[in-house]
Structure 1
Amino acid sequence: MPRDPLLTAGPGRHHPFLMLCIRRSLAGIAATCAVSLLVFVGTDLLPGDAADVILTRSASSGGGTPEQLAALRAELGLDVPWPQRYLGWIGGLLQGDLGSSLVSGRSVTDVIGSRLGNTLVLAGTATVLLVPVAVGLGLWSGIRQGRPGDRVVSGVAVAAQALPEFVAATLLIAVFALIAGLLPAVSLVPPGTSPLARPEILVLPVLSLLSVMAGQSIRMVRARTSEVVRADFVRVARLHGIPERRVVWRYVVPNALGPALQLLAGSISWLVGGIVVVEQVFAYPGISHELVQAIISRDVPVVQALAFAMAVCTLAIYTLADLLVVALVPKLRTGG
């Protein structure tokens, strides 16, 4: 039975693609460890803490006595040195325990889990639509560079990219909700139900995310495609009489998508920050509300869990993009 050329390259020698996967995985683990430390230290440096917020809210004098503050900090474990708290937090992460909210006392898993599903639906829908739109229009525009269709696509992409997400969301609400009355202006999801049960509430938030992400992504794919189209190996392929369709799919698309995927990964990771703004504008019940409230109340375990989850998602997206680039480009895949 023939051996898979992507996994082996002869007896006693590993294939470069397999070794690259191992190196990328190890690098991702190292980056995750570094991110965990940065997240913990960053949240620990926030001015004030949960004890200050709790006493300020509960005491009519506006803060309580120093003795009360010290006692509450000891009760919440905030008086423990940060290296010890960091090791305890890492140990909990490895066991799947994110800790408890300092404000409500609820499990952080429960606090986040009640909203995380809604955010994943919104982010997943936007990503599923972004990739074919950005890749399709970027390739189409890059292959037809200089033609009227290319100018229209490029102009619309630049205009969309220039709009901040909250401005795009406001314009969409004004046009489709207030003027046309076609879609709801707010995206409320009844507790215990999925946003997919009312898909109309996802249309405007998804369009708001796409309006900003797609513009930048289309331009990046288009720029790379236009470079590949002018490359010498594409000209040689055409001079040898290879059909244009085969030239595009065999030579242009793989070489254009390789580097473009890494740039596209940056646009997808932008969802981590952009979705917070969109959820606030549309009153969408995602994790942004919990994150904002946790920062205000200095609920450090919730902030740490959400920040760490966002960072890990970003690292995973870039790692996957790197591996896809190598898989698409034969020269990189074979170590040439």
Structure 2
Amino acid sequence: MQTNTSMILRRLGLGVVTLLVISVLIFLGVEALPGDLAEAVLGQSATPETVEAFQKELKLDLPPYTRYFSWLVSFMQGDFGNSLANGRPIAELIGWRLSNTLFLAGITALISIPLAVVLGILAALYRNTLFDRFISIGTLSAISFPEFFVAYILIAVFSVQLAMFPSMSNIGPRMSLLQKIHAVALPCLTLTLVVMAHMMRMTRAAIINVLTSPFIEMARLKGLSWKRVILHHAFPNALSPIINVVVLNLAYLVVGVVVVEVVFVYPGLGQLLVDSVAKRDIPVVQAVGLIFAFTYVFLNLSADILSTLSNPRLRNPK
């Protein structure tokens, strides 16, 4: 127990250090942007006095390290500042968008994870059969196509030809759950095709790898069926890599949906990030970037810890 606790504390410490490094990179990346931020926001018609006053308001007259620590401390306190585009609090802008992104990720995860695990088990159970080849070709094709290509194909089929789902996934707080699910059907299907392929192939590979173990051969010699061997012996021992790929794909569902949200004009964090970059709304870009980084690092740490705890050989390396 003490070994597990120390392992978790070490992982959390490395996660905090990683986030600090990422925050520095985000700040330096914004600092390296060409041009003057105040002039870009105010326009070319702004007088030098107005630009100077705006620079003081944004604390651009202070040294970079002072602004970095001030920004980081404010962020840790939950104060993201105000948007340069509309003057609204960034926390208010992000809150609604983050809930939309989590809703899309949650619906996708509820569909893709069970489906991927079941298909992976079936592919391992019926290995080298026509079913296995069909599933492997289908998932490999889904991985090979970029998300925007899959999204446009789905729009052409289900929105233009069949008129079953809207091409723009616009949701609002007054919509019912069924209305929201209908609105996000196409982006959810796009993400499901992408992440399910990764998880299914990893599940199949992990189970097939475990099937070569001596205890599996012993179970077969005892007369157990392939179904019982895979479900009761192979699958529990293959959980470590499966947990890794599932949690990493959950991180992708939250962090990597920028392209999908832009294609379907979905009001999530990814769409907010793209809009803020176009408007050069630097405080919003920094806040969204750090939230994405925190989510990705946290889920990576969760995958590392869960996969270690689920594998006795990793828990007790001796």
Is TM (by shorter chain) over 0.5? Answer: yes
Residues matched between the structures, number: 317
Counterpart in the other structure of 1:4: none
Distance 1:78 1:128 in 2: 45
The amino acid across from 1:201 in the alignment is A
Distance 1:123 1:76 in 2: 34
Trace 1:14-33 onto structure 2 (pairs within 5 A).
14=2, 16-33=3-20
C-alpha spacing 1:287/1:106, structure 2 compared with 1 (3 Å): same
Confirm or deny that 1:310 pairs with 2:297: no
Confirm or deny that 1:105 pairs with 2:92: no
Q: TM-score under structure 1 normalisation?
A: 0.86
Q: Percent identity?
A: 36
Q: Do the aligned residues in 2 keep the contact of 1:238 with 1:247 (CA within 8 Å)?
A: yes
Confirm or deny that 1:142 pairs with 2:124: yes
Counterpart in the other structure of 1:87: 69
Q: Do the aligned residues in 1 keep the contact of 2:125 with 2:226 (CA within 8 Å)?
A: no
Distance 1:49 1:227 in 2: 56
Distance 2:125 2:11 in 1: 32
Deviations 1:89-136 (A, max 9, x none): 121122211122233222110121232211111112112222212222
C-alpha spacing 1:328/1:301, structure 2 compared with 1 (3 Å): same
Q: TM-score under structure 2 normalisation?
A: 0.91
Counterpart in the other structure of 1:212: 194
Distance 2:202 2:58 in 1: 48
Counterpart in the other structure of 2:96: 114
Q: Do the aligned residues in 2 keep the contact of 1:118 with 1:194 (CA within 8 Å)?
A: no
Structure 2 residue aligned with 1:34, among 9, 18, 21?
21
Q: Do the aligned residues in 1 keep the contact of 2:41 with 2:280 (CA within 8 Å)?
A: no
The amino acid across from 2:18 in the alignment is A
Q: Do the aligned residues in 1 keep the contact of 2:81 with 2:283 (CA within 8 Å)?
A: yes
Confirm or deny that 1:226 pairs with 2:213: no
Q: Do the aligned residues in 2 keep the contact of 1:102 with 1:300 (CA within 8 Å)?
A: yes
Structure 2 residue aligned with 1:260, among 218, 242, 247?
242
Query: Shift of residue 85 of structure 1?
Result: 0.7
Structure 2 residue aligned with 1:193, among 143, 151, 174?
174
Q: Do the aligned residues in 2 keep the contact of 1:98 with 1:109 (CA within 8 Å)?
A: yes
Query: Shift of residue 67 of structure 1?
Result: 4.8
C-alpha spacing 1:142/1:46, structure 2 compared with 1 (3 Å): farther
Query: Shift of residue 243 of structure 1?
Result: 5.0
Unmatched runs of 5 consecutive residues or more in structure 2? none
Structure 1 residue aligned with 2:106, among 124, 128, 144?
124
Counterpart in the other structure of 1:3: none
Q: Do the aligned residues in 2 keep the contact of 1:49 with 1:298 (CA within 8 Å)?
A: no
Confirm or deny that 1:53 pairs with 2:34: no
C-alpha spacing 1:273/1:88, structure 2 compared with 1 (3 Å): same
Query: Shift of residue 291 of structure 1?
Result: 1.1
C-alpha spacing 1:230/1:207, structure 2 compared with 1 (3 Å): same
Distance 1:52 1:273 in 2: 31
Unmatched runs of 5 consecutive residues or more in structure 1? 1-6, 8-13, 57-61
Query: Shift of residue 224 of structure 1?
Result: 2.1
The amino acid across from 1:196 in the alignment is L
The amino acid across from 1:23 in the alignment is R
- Please identify, of 91-100 and 192-201, the stretch whose mean Cα deviation from structure 2 is larger: 192-201
